[in-house]
Amino acid sequence: MTPGPSRPQPMSERALALAGLVQALAQVRRIAETGQAHAATLATAIDSVFRFQAPSTAAVYGGAERVRDGLVLLRDYFESRGQDEQLPRLALSVLQLERRFAQDEDMMRRVREGLQAQTARAAQLGGTHPDVLSALGALYADTLSHLRPRVLVQGNPHYLGQPGVVAEVRAVLLAAVRSAMLWRQLGGSLWDLTLRRRALLEAVRAHLG
């Protein structure tokens, strides 16, 4: 997680970052409810936290097509067809959390160092290896989970009582915060979700084709 562009970027770029955020959070919801993630979508989220100096917004996710599910979720939300009422609330909590995180230079340093410490292992084993997910989950628990507002994830108590599932949820939350940071660095703000809703929807539709 490194400083990003200093100037506002085109709405299409912000749409991709926001899609990455909601796609990650949809996986958080899935893991919390079922104990399992979609493998490819999980990989997209986790791999994004290790792309420190990606040349473009799309490259953060391994290509714009890798966040297509997130773009669909955004389109449905902006068209008032979203089915998961918890998802927008979760996204708002993460956006607010990222603002607090960005103001804490010491915590940002600790997270950056924690990610760098796992980079070689993630490259060797794969970002979704249980050891990597456990380490990322612990990093989130030791840092971001102490900020307010806390991100409260609802789900099936049976799965949320399992350490491996909790670690995976926290690891994907870390990826969601990475997307929230990217969104802000590209010039995105909470005002965009209301005042520039139509422009965002048009950008999302353009990506979906």
Secondary structure of the chain as H, E, C letters: CCCCCCCCCCHHHHHHHHHHHHHHHHHHHHHHHHCCCCHHHHHHHHHHCCCCCCCCHHHHCCCHHHHHHHHHHHHHHHCCCCCCCHHHHHHHHHHHHHHHHHCCHHHHHHHHHHHHHHHHHHHHHCCCCHHHHHHHHHHHHHCHHHCCCCCCCCCCHHHHCCHHHHHHHHHHHHHHHHHHHHHHHCCCCCCHHHHCHHHHHHHHHHHHC
Please tell me the pTM assigned to this model: 0.94
Tell me the pLDDT band of 3, cut-offs 50, 70 and 90: very low
Candidates 138, 102, 143; CA nearest to 118 is 138
How far, in Å, CA of 188 to CA of 176, rounded? Answer: 15
Give the angle subtended at the CA of 164 by the CAs of 163 and 167, to the nearest 5°. 85
Q: What size, in residues, is the chain?
A: 209
pLDDT in tens, 44-55: 999 999 999 899
Q: Taking the domains of the chain in order of start, what are their residue ranges?
A: 11-208
- Note the pLDDT of residue 98: 97
List pLDDT tens digits, range 134-183: 999 999 999 999 999 899 999 999 999 999 999 999 999 999 999 999 99
pLDDT value of position 5:
43
25, pLDDT greater than 80: yes
What's the pLDDT at 83?
Answer: 85
Name residues whose C-beta falls within 8 Å of residue 187's C-beta, 6 or more positions apart in sequence: 5, 7, 8, 9, 14
Return the pLDDT at 1: 61
* 72-129: pLDDT as tens digits: 999 999 999 988 989 999 999 999 999 999 999 999 999 999 999 999 999 999 999 9
Phi-psi region of 2 (alpha: psi -120 to 50; beta: other; left: phi over 0): beta
% residues pLDDT > 70 (the chain): 96
Report the distance separating Cα 116 and Cα 182, nearest Å.
18
Q: Give pLDDT, residue 7.
A: 47
Q: Are 81 and 23 in contact (CB under 8 A)?
A: no
CA dist 43 and 129 (Å) reads 10
What CATH superfamily is the domain 11-208?
A: HflD-like (1.10.3890.10)
Q: Are the C-beta atoms of residues 128 and 46 closer than 8 Å to each other?
A: yes
* CB neighbours of residue 193 within 10 Å: 17
pLDDT, residue 82, reads 83
Residue 41 pLDDT > 90? yes
Q: 176 and 50 in contact (C-beta within 8 Å)? A: no
